Amino acid sequence: MSFPDEGYHKAPHPSPLTPAYYKREVSDKDEVEDACRSFENYLIQMIVEEGKMRDLKDVEEFLYCCNNLRCPIFTDLVCRFYGELCYDLFSNSRHDDVKALRNLSSMDKNHK
């Protein structure tokens, strides 16, 4: 039994607004890819500089499980979750917010 793809198509019907929608969709995808790259760099830093191998084992187990997924629905779900997680944790705007908070926190420690 197969399901039609009609219910899963997110793009609007062709109209003068479609190009802007498409551009926004591509922009969001680029931001997610950048966030995922930042996450990968964070993992490398965690391994090389901090030696946090136990945390790395959790990531390794997660990647192993993702590699063994066979159902396209679950694969899509995990990929979307991973993309959103990376975006939330490692997007440039979010990363800048975290840096600003760290700077404030270190300034507070210096004043005490």
pLDDT tens, residue order, the chain (112 aa): 444 545 444 544 555 544 454 444 445 667 767 777 777 777 777 667 766 666 677 777 877 887 888 888 888 888 888 778 777 777 765 555 545 545 544 444 444 4
Cα separation, 87 vs 83, whole angstroms: 6
Q: How far apart are CA 32 and CA 95, in angstroms?
A: 13
Whole-angstrom Cα distance, residue 38 to residue 42? 6
Query: What is the token pair recorded at 106?
Result: 């270190």
Q: Cα torsion for 32, 36, 38, 42, to the nearest 10°?
A: 150
